[in-house]
Chain A
Amino acid sequence: MNPRLDAPPIAPDWRTPRRLQSALLTTAGLGALLFLAGIMLQPERAWGGYLMGFVYFVSLALAGPLFLSIVYLSGATWAKPLLRIPEAMGAALPVALVLGLGLIIGTHELYEWSHAQAVESDALLAHKVPYLNVGAFSIRMVIYFLVWIWIGRKLASLSRQACSGPEGRRRSIAVSAAFMAALSVTLSLASVDWVQSLDPHWFSTMFALRILSGIGCAGMALCTLVLTTLRRRGTMRAVVTEDRMDDMGKILLALSLFWAYIWYCEYMIIWYTDIPEETGYYLLRRQGDWGTLLPVNLIVNFAVPFLAMMLRPWRRSSIILTRVAALMLVGRALDLFVMIAPPILGSEVRLGLWELGPLAGALALFGWILLRALGRSPLVGGEAPAAS
């Protein structure tokens, strides 16, 4: 019999580590407390941190169904035994909705377009009122999440039932295509709503792709991190072979390259053309210490992962792969910081408890949800990898 068709042994020794879970929950709680204190003391900075945490949280949660739908649409068989992880990541979407509803309270602190006075004295903001107003912002937010949760749930349940055979495959492909179509429109708008409109005069048609490439990088880096950790604990060793790690390494390489491509195209075109409508965005981000962060961002998110993952032995080394994935997760936070913080903080870089507290809290909350969802079902199983 073809050895690839043998069901991989279901790891019996996996138990959700209680201590880690309580540590994550404590961090989430501390983050929430810091955020509440921040609202009293430094509301703008606290809400900036909250927005970073929220966008990061949503990115990781969306990466789950996105990964699932790519796997089903491309007919990728190699990833089939690993799908419990993206399924679990998608389980965080309802909580992301709750965080999003929280964000609506903070619109006044974050977005200039929500100030009636600013709109009155600014013709451009007045022009955008039909789109940029708190009511429409909130309604759109709820719609995005309902669509994501609805299709994401369907996709995850199909994936969990491991629908094999032509009929099951066809259904998973249809739902995946629906998710992609819905995500393309909703994410394009959401990226304008949540992040781009922080600089309310600025616009860039590339922006949604910057958010999307970030979702890809962060999501796959987290998947890789979970896989290598499980492998080191002896779980899933049968599935997470060196070849799988090699595959994940190649994906990280490709995604970091994609992120850099998108980043560079936008930056280069705006720098080259140098028209006042656009150039203010990077003018602010090249001043003072922000200007130092700009190349650091490129090194962390592109140069290091790209060069490290070029080498086959490094992709196959659990330690190096883990470190690169972790670095890309840090890089995601840095990239979001450079996107979100400058219009809030102005020309001075300030990174303190008010930013890091809510961000760390949101990430810890995500980790807690992920671990809980992973603990619910056997980590490996479902559809046997079909021989091609």
Chain B
Amino acid sequence: MHTEPEAANLAPPLIGGGKMPSDVTRDVCGPLERRPTGMWWLAFAGAASLLAIGIAAVWYQVATGIGTWGLNRTVGWGFDITNFVFWVGIGHAGTLISAVLLLFRQKWRTSINRSAEAMTIFAVICAGLYPVIHMGRPWLAFWVFPYPNFRGPLWVNWRSALLWDVFAIGTYFTISLVFWYVGMIPDLATLRDRSRGLRRKITGLFSLGWNGSARTWSRYEMACVLLASLATPLVVSVHSVVSTDFATSVVPGWHTTVLPPYFVIGAVFSGFAMVLMLMLIARRVMSFEDYITSAHIGAMCKVLVFTGSIVGLAYATELFTAWYSGSEYEMFAFSNRLRGPMGWAYAVMVLCNVVAPQLLWSRRIRNSLGLVFLITVLVNIGMWFERFVIIAGSLQRDYLPSAWSDYVPTSVEFGALIGGFGLFFTLFLLFCRFLPMISMFEVKTVLTDGHERAASESDARERSVA
């Protein structure tokens, strides 16, 4: 018999612990049906406090005016747009994992896609707030939409990348939300069937009368494939459009042709780092060690080292081309980036984004959860700094030396930055409490049907018979 070498060829199971389908339901629904743990309350209190700081800061800024920020006539974009681009980037991994990895048939995505999608939505919410705050008069934010109005010639500028940004982010948010919700319907029905009272009514409403019949499944799968096909181009388009906010300008350091794919790959990089960071926490807090295994973590580490290397290559390409161009402005923009007043920020960015993920080439480091966690935190810091270096760093030194100016963020801006993280984590913790964090019905398709446990049970039975 040559079954053994074939068995060696088989991929190892994705889910540990010899789970049966009913175990999955119990493990995922269980935490939602119990009272929240002390750990959860502690985390929630922390996140909510950060959010409160943010609300206070933004309240003060809106009431007083944009002058409470450190922006000036030279540096018109600072923390606000940095935060915006950072959060849009974080929002990339969700759709990538759900739609692109679905099309590539990467089955390891099933354990993490639900929370990654949730993260996408929360990140896009965070992102969308910053430009609105930046307007100074957020109650007029609806002016960004082109609709018939009585403002005479005051009409959106179709030639501006910023308007297309509104559409890109709006489309992305809508599709991500629909995709996330539709992907959750079978699991909501499971929750409905397990609950009583008000919870049953609410989950019943949102599971749209799911009955699990073959016809329902068949329509459902068709809908998912269609949504995945719609969502896939969005993964690339959103950050490409965001990049044109900068690339279509004539600001050296902003204007470079590679910026769209450069932003997309950076977004995937930072998004994956954030997903991995949250998963490392969640598997510990929610005891999902059997669902998010070292194989999942290893796969995500490999994505990180791959995307991190591309980011490094992009940095090198920029530097080389700045020199190769022979253009005085390009060369100055990059020598200023390296050695100017924000040189330290460039160093942080390179250390965190290029050097740190290279450690993940080593299997030993990929297996050390503490180190992986540290690297994901570093990458998140580094990717925030990348946007800061590009945005504020390039503006500081423009064509007119007489207009040069430094940018010193104020405590109000730090408050808004902190508030973004507060909002993100508050929403994420609420999600962990009320919705199934792991896609139960999809994980059930990658189970090895409890082969090992069934085998050991039958062994035990045989032994007891003997």
Contacts and interface: CB of A to CB of B under 8 A. Distances in A.
Interface residues of B, number: 38
Contact of B9 (A164, A203, A273): A164
Interface in A137-166: 164-166
B250 A204 contact: no
Contacts, number: 95
Contacts of B6: 5, 384
B326 A128 contact: yes
Given A269-B248, A270-B257, A386 B11 contact: yes
Nearest to B310: A184
B331 to A, nearest CB: 9
B9 A192 contact: no
Given A124-B326, A205-B317, A261-B236, A166 B8 contact: yes
Contacts of A278: 257
B5 A265 contact: no
A386 B8 CA distance: 9
Interface string A195-215: 000000101111111000000
Contacts of A209: 258, 261
A188 B248 contact: no
B244 interface: yes
Give the 10 A-B CB pairs with smallest separation, nearest first: A205-B258, A206-B257, A127-B326, A386-B9, A265-B260, A203-B325, A272-B248, A124-B326, A204-B257, A266-B257
Contacts of B9: 164-165, 384, 386-387
B168 to A, nearest CB: 14
A387 B10 contact: yes
A348 interface: no
Given A184-B309, A204-B257, A269-B244, A386 B326 contact: no
B410 interface: no
Interface in B106-124: 106-107
12 contacts: A127-B326, A131-B324, A181-B309, A203-B324, A204-B258, A205-B256, A205-B318, A208-B317, A261-B236, A269-B259, A272-B244, A384-B6
Interface string A357-388: 00000000000000000000000000010111
Contacts of A277: 325, 327
Nearest to A201: B326
B313 A188 contact: yes
Contacts of B142: none
A46 B317 CA distance: 32
Classify chain A's interface size: 35 or more
Interface string B239-261: 01000100111100001111111
B411 interface: no
Contacts of B257: 204-207, 265-266, 269-270, 278
Contacts of A275: 250, 255
Given A265-B260, A269-B248, A272-B248, 17 more contacts: A74-B106, A123-B326, A124-B326, A164-B8, A164-B9, A188-B317, A192-B324, A203-B321, A203-B324, A205-B317, A208-B317, A261-B240, A261-B261, A265-B259, A269-B247, A269-B255, A273-B247
Interface of B: 5-6, 8-11, 104, 106-107, 233, 236, 240, 244, 247-250, 255-262, 309-310, 313-314, 316-318, 320-321, 324-327
B261 A273 contact: no
Interface of A is mostly: helix
Contacts of B240: 261, 265
A53 to B, nearest CB: 26
A206 B324 contact: no
Contacts of B236: 261
A219 B400 CA distance: 48
A206 B250 contact: no
Given A165-B9, A273-B248, A384-B9, A185 B258 contact: no
A262 interface: yes
A333 B106 CA distance: 35
A74 B104 contact: yes
B261 A388 contact: no
Contacts of A262: 261
B255 A273 contact: yes
A262 B236 CA distance: 11
Contacts of B309: 181, 184
Contacts of A384: 6, 9
Nearest to B313: A184
Contacts of B256: 205
B198 to A, nearest CB: 43
Max count, chain A CB within 10 A of own CB: residue among B8, B258, B262: B258
A356 B11 CA distance: 49
A165 B5 contact: yes
A209 B262 CA distance: 11
Most buried by B among A128, A164, A181, A205: A205
Contacts of A185: 313, 316
A175 to B, nearest CB: 14
B324 A128 contact: yes
A90 B322 CA distance: 34
Nearest to A202: B325
A5 B8 CA distance: 13
Nearest to B363: A170
Contact of B8 (A74, A165, A188): A165
